[in-house]
Amino acid sequence: MEVRDKLYIGGSWVPSTGKGTIDVINSATEEVMGTIPEGTPEDVDKAVRAAAEAFASWAATSVEERSKTLLRVQEALTARTPDLATLISQEVGMPFTLSNLIQVGLPVMSFATAAQLATDFPFEEQLGNSLIVREPVGVVGCITPWNYPLHQIAAKVAPALAAGCTVVLKPSEVAPLNAFVLAEIFDEIDLPAGVFNLVTGTGPVVGEAIASHPRVDMVSFTGSTRAGKRVMELASQSVKRVALELGGKSANVILEDADLQAAVPAGVAACYINSGQTCSALTRMLVPRSRLAEAEELAVKTAETYTPGDPFGSDTRLGPLVSSVQRDRVRGYIRKGVEEGAKLLTGGDEAPEGLDTGYYVRPTVFSDVRADMTIAQEEIFGPVLSIIPYDTEDEAVEIANGTIYGLAGGVWAGDKTRAEQVARKLRTGQVEVNGGGFNPLAPFGGYKQSGIGRELGKFGLEEYLEVKALQR
Active site residues: 245, 279
**Contact yes or no for 150/88 (Cβ under 8 A):** yes
Q: Is 58 helix (H, G, I), strand (E, B) or coil?
A: helix
**Contact yes or no for 69/164 (Cβ under 8 A):** no
Give me the helix-helix angle, 177-188 and 63-79, nearest 10°: 130
Q: Which residues face 196 on adjacent strands?
A: 167
Closest by CA to 318, choosing from 327, 329, 305, is 305
- Residue length, the chain? 472
Degrees, nearest 5: CA angle 186-187-189: 65
Distance CA 453, CA 464 (A): 11
> Would strands 166-170 and 196-198 be described as parallel, antiparallel, or unpaired?
parallel
| Type of residue found at 164 | G
> Would strands 130-136 and 124-127 be described as parallel, antiparallel, or unpaired?
antiparallel
**Contact yes or no for 85/99 (Cβ under 8 A):** yes
Distance CA 383, CA 365 (A): 8
- Cβ burial of 350 (10 Å; 0-12, 13-18, 19+) is exposed
Distance CA 358, CA 86 (A): 17
Q: Is 141 helix (H, G, I), strand (E, B) or coil?
A: strand
Distance CA 132, CA 228 (A): 32
